[in-house]
Amino acid sequence: MENTSGTIRKSIKTGKKVEIVQKHHQQSGELTKGVVKRILTNSATHPHGIKVQLETGEIGRVKNVLS
């Protein structure tokens, strides 16, 4: 399984499996796995990770893109 950084928008596509950190888990760094429903960040890159919404409705910044 190849891990890719979640800071580059073009490496994230809807339907891809990712690990995100939700706002209320930023201190602990707890990751949530899920499938990208939509990409919320418009810029090409973001230093803390691209913000996405998962199919479960959870929103957070991508830490890893799973293959």
| pLDDT number for residue 5 | 82
| pLDDT number for residue 67 | 79
| pLDDT number for residue 1 | 45
| pLDDT number for residue 2 | 52
Q: How far apart are CA 32 and CA 58, in angstroms?
A: 9
Percent helix, strand, coil in the chain (nearest 5)?
10, 45, 45
Question: Where in the chain are the domains?
Answer: 4-66
| pLDDT number for residue 27 | 95
Q: How far apart are CA 27 and CA 30, in angstroms?
A: 8
Q: How far apart are CA 16 and CA 25, in angstroms?
A: 21
Provide block-wise average pLDDT over 10 residues at a time, the chain (67 residues).
Answer: 79 96 96 98 96 98 93
| pLDDT number for residue 50 | 97
| pLDDT number for residue 34 | 98
- CATH level 3 topology of 4-66: SH3 type barrels. (2.30.30)
